[in-house]
Amino acid sequence: MQKAIEVFRQHYVQVCPEITNEELDFVSENLTISEFKAKDYYLKNGDVQYSLGFLVEGLMKSFYIDQAGNEITVWFTKENEYATDYPAFIRQIPAKYHVQCLEPCLVVNLPYEDVQTGYAKYKTIERYGRLVTEEVLIQQQSRLESFLFQNAEQRYLDFIQTNPTLFNRVSLTDLSSYLGIERQSLSRIRKSISQK
């Protein structure tokens, strides 16, 4: 379990190389580790997320259930990323999404209170939070713009290019839902690309 905490600390150092040992010790102080099996839920719609989950090992998907009862995948979380419904976490309100493990997962949990205290007490921790939040915002904006400015094939090709390690880890059903296309359409797109 110490290895998981070390991976978490190294992520801080990677994002903010100027972080001090005192600041790293502060963020490490109240961490907990959680292990999940494939298909377990890390977070369910309606739950309040009291700790921010840093994924050390595994893969998760975030999804919601639409009015017709369909599962709509909106996000994949891989190693060295945070598993969260971030706007809900920051406001400490019930999550709108389910976050489910697609593989066995190892998660480092950082309590909400420690996040807020760290922001107030340490400039580097506040900077880390800002940089991580900016990255999440950029990714979400890119996803939104992909639906506005790209066709299905372009979205698929973009996903492969930006997520080369996920391609063989995500089911066609989850991927087609994420891309906003029918599974049969995704199969046709894949076949057409392979013949080019």
Task: Please name the helix (run of DSSP H) or strand (run of DSSP E) that holds residue 81, with its range, or none.
Answer: strand 81-83
Tens-place pLDDT, residues 79-117: 999 999 988 999 999 999 999 999 999 999 999 999 999
Q: Tell me how far the alpha carbon of residue 123 is from its chain's centroid.
A: 24
For residue 151, report the phi and psi dihedrals to the nearest 5 degrees: -85, 180
The DSSP code for 95 is: -
- In this prediction the pTM is 0.91
Q: Where does residue 65 fall: left (phi above 0), alpha (psi -120 to 50 degrees), or beta otherwise? A: beta
Q: How far apart are CA 191 and CA 196, in angstroms?
A: 9
Q: Which domains does the chain have, with CATH numbers?
A: 2-149 (2.60.120.10), 151-196 (no CATH)
- Residues 6 or more apart whose CB falls under 8 angstroms from that of 73 comprise 61, 62, 63, 174, 175, 177, 178
pLDDT at position 165: 86
